[in-house]
């Protein structure tokens, strides 16, 4: 088994230039991952062990002029070194919700690549009656942590190990408060140069006695779409229900509905327990149909990552020390019985510096080769390799 060593990368000091009514901040975030990937039961001809070191340098520029105008730019520079640096396993697909994008590969060599990503480029205008954000920005919706059923805007997958920053999308976001407890908004998002497949959604959010609620309604990918998120408190535990649906008017029975219900409780002993149930109407009920799903719209759009229909998930964390946290996640497919287990250990050993150690361990029937060398999927999480990683993060 290959072994690799990561060296933490220093973060540059923040540059700050301020006047009476204008200012500029420049900060560099640095993150280093070491990844070891191996297949417990590899197919003939496949590599058993693979390793890589991933650096992510994120340059953040924030500027403002008075109380009304501000702008933000986030740019990632990502060198990747290792035996699978050039195989696309660490390079995310280009976000379809962008009008224009950079070619992600700056350089490709036999054993290393250099990627980059312009992830934010947004201008904000703040008025007492409304706020307008124009450009590349992160837009989120919903409360779920493990299975986000209501987030239509480039949601992170449940097995993402780098979830520090949500991917930016190109659009306009208008927010207008109605009073202290309610606000409305409008979201318009690009889809490349295909305006018909973009997003135009009206949004409402309100706070009530004992619970909060939010709703979306409009058009996405040329189809009517709705989303709902409700959250509250019950006996000291936080509860939430998220859902979304897109309606295919030509084939209504194929309209995918996704719903998540969850509970989250923090004990005084430092233990946190969270559990979720999820229904994925875009998925299939038979592993034999999983590979064909990649060609359907929800998966091609990057909205849905799960292949089955029914899931349960749990997350438990315990504060061993104010600076040390132990956690384990469990994602269970109720469709085929497979699971993905994610133990983790985090240590904040200095101000703005943290170290993480984790793994993703699949449980389930593995991919096999059938007649005519056609791949046969035994289970969803059985498609995953075993992943062990370290994570060194600095932010100044």
| CATH number, position 339 | 2.40.160.10
Which residues are within 8 A (CB) of 39 and not within 5 positions of it... i.e. 6 or more apart? 46, 47, 48, 366, 385, 386
Please state the domain count of the chain. Answer: 1
Structure tokens given for 36: 């070891």
Q: With respect to residue 267, please indicate whether it lies within any of the assigned structural domains.
A: yes
pTM (2 decimals)? 0.87
User: Which of these, 294, 309, 330, 278, lies nearest to 147 by C-alpha position?
Assistant: 278
Tell me which residue range forms the domain holding 348. Answer: 15-395
Residue 350 CB: number of other CB atoms within 10 A?
A: 10
Q: With respect to residue 9, please indicate whether it lies within any of the assigned structural domains.
A: no
CB-based burial label for 144 (10 Å; 0-12, 13-18, 19+)? buried
Q: With respect to residue 68, please indicate whether it lies within any of the assigned structural domains.
A: yes
Task: Identify the helix (H) or strand (E) that includes residue 273.
Answer: strand 271-280
Terminal C-alpha separation, the chain: 35
Evaluate whether 41 touches 362 at the Cβ level (below 8 Å): no
Q: With respect to residue 6, please indicate whether it lies within any of the assigned structural domains.
A: no
Per residue of the chain (396 residues), what is the pLDDT tens digit? Answer: 333 333 334 333 444 555 558 899 998 889 998 988 887 776 655 556 688 898 899 999 999 998 899 999 999 999 998 865 544 444 455 678 999 999 888 988 878 889 999 999 999 999 999 999 999 999 989 999 899 899 988 777 766 777 788 889 999 999 999 999 999 999 999 888 888 889 999 999 999 998 999 999 999 988 899 999 999 998 889 999 999 998 876 654 556 899 999 999 999 888 999 999 999 999 999 998 998 888 887 887 778 889 999 999 999 999 998 899 999 999 999 999 999 999 999 999 887 789 999 999 999 998 877 665 677 888 999 988 899 999 998 876
CA 98 to chain centroid, in Å, comes to 16
Q: With respect to residue 1, please indicate whether it lies within any of the assigned structural domains.
A: no
In this predicted structure, what is the pLDDT of residue 189?
95
CA-based angle 344:349:351, to the nearest 5? 120
In this predicted structure, what is the pLDDT of residue 46?
57
Q: With respect to residue 2, please indicate whether it lies within any of the assigned structural domains.
A: no
In this structure, the chain runs to a length of: 396
Evaluate whether 326 touches 345 at the Cβ level (below 8 Å): yes
Q: With respect to residue 95, please indicate whether it lies within any of the assigned structural domains.
A: yes
Q: With respect to residue 364, please indicate whether it lies within any of the assigned structural domains.
A: yes
């Amino acid at each position: 088994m290959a072994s690799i060593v990561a060296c933490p990368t220093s973060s540059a000091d923040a540059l700050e230039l301020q006047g009476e009514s204008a200012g500029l901040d420049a900060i560099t975030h640095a993150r280093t991952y070491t990844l070891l990937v191996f297949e417990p039961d590899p197919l003939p001809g496949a590599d058993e062990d693979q390793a890589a070191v991933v650096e992510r340098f994120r340059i953040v520029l924030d500027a403002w002029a008075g109380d009304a105008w501000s702008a933000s730019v986030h740019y990632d520079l990502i060198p990747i070194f290792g035996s699978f640096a050039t195989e696309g396993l660490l390079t995310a697909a280009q976000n379809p919700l962008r009008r224009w994008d950079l070619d992600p590969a700056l350089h490709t060599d036999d054993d290393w690549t250099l990627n980059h990503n312009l992830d934010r480029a947004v201008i904000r205008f703040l008025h007492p009656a409304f706020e307008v954000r124009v450009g590349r920005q992160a837009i989120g919706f919903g409360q779920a942590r493990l299975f986000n059923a209501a987030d239509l805007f480039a949601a992170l997958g449940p097995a993402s190990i780098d979830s520090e920053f949500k991917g930016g999308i190109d659009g306009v976001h208008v927010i207008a408060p109605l009073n202290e407890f309610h606000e409305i908004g409008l979201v318009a998002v690009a889809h490349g140069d295909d305006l018909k497949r973009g997003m135009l959604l009206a949004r409402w959010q309100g706070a009530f006695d004992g619970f909060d609620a939010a709703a979306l309604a409009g058009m996405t990918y040329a189809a009517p779409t709705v989303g709902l998120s409700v959250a509250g408190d019950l006996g000291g535990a936080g509860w939430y229900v998220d859902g979304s649906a897109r309606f295919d008017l030509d084939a209504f029975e194929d309209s995918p509905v996704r719903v998540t219900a969850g509970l989250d409780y923090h004990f005084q002993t430092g233990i946190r327990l969270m559990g979720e149930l999820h229904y994925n109407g875009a998925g299939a009920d038979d592993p034999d149909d999983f590979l064909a799903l990649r060609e359907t719209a929800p998966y091609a759009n990057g909205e849905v990552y799960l292949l089955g229909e029914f899931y349960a998930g749990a997350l438990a964390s315990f504060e061993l020390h104010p600076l040390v946290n132990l956690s384990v996640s469990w994602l269970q497919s109720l469709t085929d019985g497979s699971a993905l287990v994610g133990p983790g250990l985090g240590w904040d050993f200095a101000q703005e510096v943290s170290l993480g150690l984790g793994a993703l361990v699949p449980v389930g029937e593995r991919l096999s080769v059938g007649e005519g060398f056609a791949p046969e999927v035994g289970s969803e999480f059985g498609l995953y390799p075993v992943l062990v990683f370290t994570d060194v993060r600095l932010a100044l």
